[in-house]
Chain A
């Protein structure tokens, strides 16, 4: 009799623990979304600053600068925006418990993010103006640099999640991380679209 009771108690303790665990994951997701909303205000502030500078500065382009080449950045943009779809399907695979499908698409997303960073670096190296060349140079490198830092963070987060997918039994823990990383990636993408329009399209 008493042993049955003990078992029951253990069982309830186990379910309570699992529920706690699940709740903790949801707390993390809520916390991460709140953080992302807050983070978006930094970008918003930079965007507003950029618009104010661009519309009020008399000599916007530094001497000898014609403007920005759009072709390569556009390719970069297409790669980054498509990666948002790739990561979505990676998440779907994880939900279907197809770990290898998840890993393949996850790695593809990382590759696309890295391609974007490489393209950004090539573009920076080819430009004739620097960070201190007036408000034009300042805002360009500030915005693309701050965004690039987020892309780098996103790729590193994905690397961590990929590594964690190989730890046996780590599946549940990893899932919240995967959802958060994917959210972060969509966020970085949306920011880039606004940034691309502001800097490259609106010249």
Chain B
């Protein structure tokens, strides 16, 4: 029987199997995808034109259900709340057993369902062929083989989605559990997922489901269900969730054995050997250094050097700005308007020039480099390599993912801390992100400035920030109660990124940058102009003199840069850059280190408030600001002592 899918299509599956890539292929709406588990942490929505504008929902990956982390809870919520949806499970052809144990649960939810077995190309290259027709027969639901990154299998998939049936699937659990499910079914709401599936999730102890049920059928009924669960538990030594999981796994093992055929011998290719080298305890490190140097060269030398030189000095400084200045001065009669548009803190000369000529080329090169690395699968390998270093911070290697993502955008990274298992880990990582991880825009400007001074300047900045990161992380680990979670993670294969996918991703991020950053730049430039006009800026500079000049050893004008840093840290760094020759190399390094540690940008501050509450956000700020100035002052004294001047 065909159910009309008014509610749309819900993409579900394990982490890093390609749900978001398929989402993009189906909807044309871009969500950030990358080759590491945990890229999607919230449900995203789009609509598929080829399916009559059917709504499509992309969910964070779940390793198994019941859900355990914040992002997994979001998936359970979507399964419970989205009405009349077709389920599209995305599975990994390289590990079919794992995918099938989830299928066994999804297929009993009473929703029409299709299974996409993704990455069949990589499975074949490793010597495994999956007989999708046989699999479809075993499961009683349509199965389509896909290679989502190259759009293979998407058309047949759309056809199957249009006519997807509710699977006739039944997995028999141990008799005691089957009996309990029968007793529980009448107590459960009948208008959401099939009561049998709800019962299975409830027996497994899904907390998210219990909250949801309390709102639907009342706490008393939930109490009855709990009593039922406790009664069944008496029949088993192991927790019910383990019993259920074992039943599903045994099923998956049986089916996988019947549908996987070995083809060829699937030897180790170059990519696999490189992948092993990347996590090698010795060779992994030179490889990391090579990767870092590659980024430095592409973003620092090429982006911040060559491209900025062409755009800022030649195009804007030499052609556009003089022309625009002439235009304004010739046609606008009010002198204050000259200042507003083309003066020292002018909307055009400061705001637009910085945003377009200085930062745009830098973030573009960074986003390209970042996108290539993301899709290559290297970041996951870094999880393993860095695991020991993160031990000292009370974290495991998985924390490297939000940290690296923070180098792209700290705001996004703060959201991504949801992939971490405990609130303790999330809090430590969020704090370190806010303190010591510069985002791509800021990083770009900083690299550009420092590369212009000397390599040792870059090295001093890097070591200072790293030192603060490690020391503060170590202290946070010591002071916060709770235990560290050991590392367990999948390592996706290294891949040659598809250029089209990297460019799409770069463009999506640039669009975000242009939309979010340019208005802020203009607001910042305008605010400074007003403050300057009202005489507040000179007064502030006066007031901040003991700290800025006395403690940090910077000229008082640098106060303006710190003020801009409140809006965005890259904006602040740009302010320092603009002072150019007014600063010595030493002052520049001190200023940049202080700004790097200084308050997180406004958007990420809002994100911290959203994720951790106002009290914790305020506490973080209260710790970060004095610390940044303290470190800056120390560095100033240390550099003066050794007489470093570039």
A interacts with B: no
